[in-house]
Amino acid sequence: MGKKDRSGGKPQTTPSEVDDGRALRGVVLNEFIQQRSIIPRYRPDVLSEADYEARQATLPLAVLWGEYDAPDGVHFTVSVNLLLVEQALARHLPEAHSKFKTERDRLHAEIRDLAVGTITSTSQKTGAPPSLVCQILHGASR
């Protein structure tokens, strides 16, 4: 199950073995937060989910696109780069590990939820559209 410890032969459990991956995902999520890559980049040139997926290799971790006004408020889409999530997770958990895809998918969803929540909350508090929130937050991170 775990790795052998040189000091006494006791198994060392990995974060995913201890708590079903929460700690592992937290480590990777914290790396993205430290890089400030959780804050979506506004990309009006992304036209659809298929367009995003086709260009994913050249896009940042989180992208806000498809913003439009509607009677019930501003609508937008946030897409998260699965390739970058996989790369970051693979630094901590081998891709061949049986839980890799599950943890990748959970991490991907957590990043999306955090990005959407941050933009939505800030937009509601300030009255600024999500695209402007992204631009301001990225300007503040420099």
Containing domain of residue 34, as a range?
3-140
The residue written with tokens 């901590």 in the block is 92
Position 16 pLDDT exceeds 50 = no
* Distances, alpha carbon 111 to alpha carbons 62, 70, 73, in Å: 8, 26, 23
Give me the pLDDT at residue 139, please. 83
Rounded Cα gap, residues 138 and 47, in angstroms: 22
* Distances, alpha carbon 2 to alpha carbons 10, 17, 36, 52, 98, in Å: 9, 8, 33, 39, 14
Tally the domains of the chain. 1
Rounded Cα gap, residues 142 and 138, in angstroms: 7
State in Å, rounded, how far the first CA of the chain is from the last one: 43
Q: Which of 134, 138, 7 is nearest to 64 (CA)?
A: 134
User: pLDDT higher for 32 or 15?
Assistant: 32
- Mean pLDDT check: name the lowest of 1-5, 13-17, 110-114, 126-130: 1-5
Mean pLDDT to the nearest integer, 48-52: 96
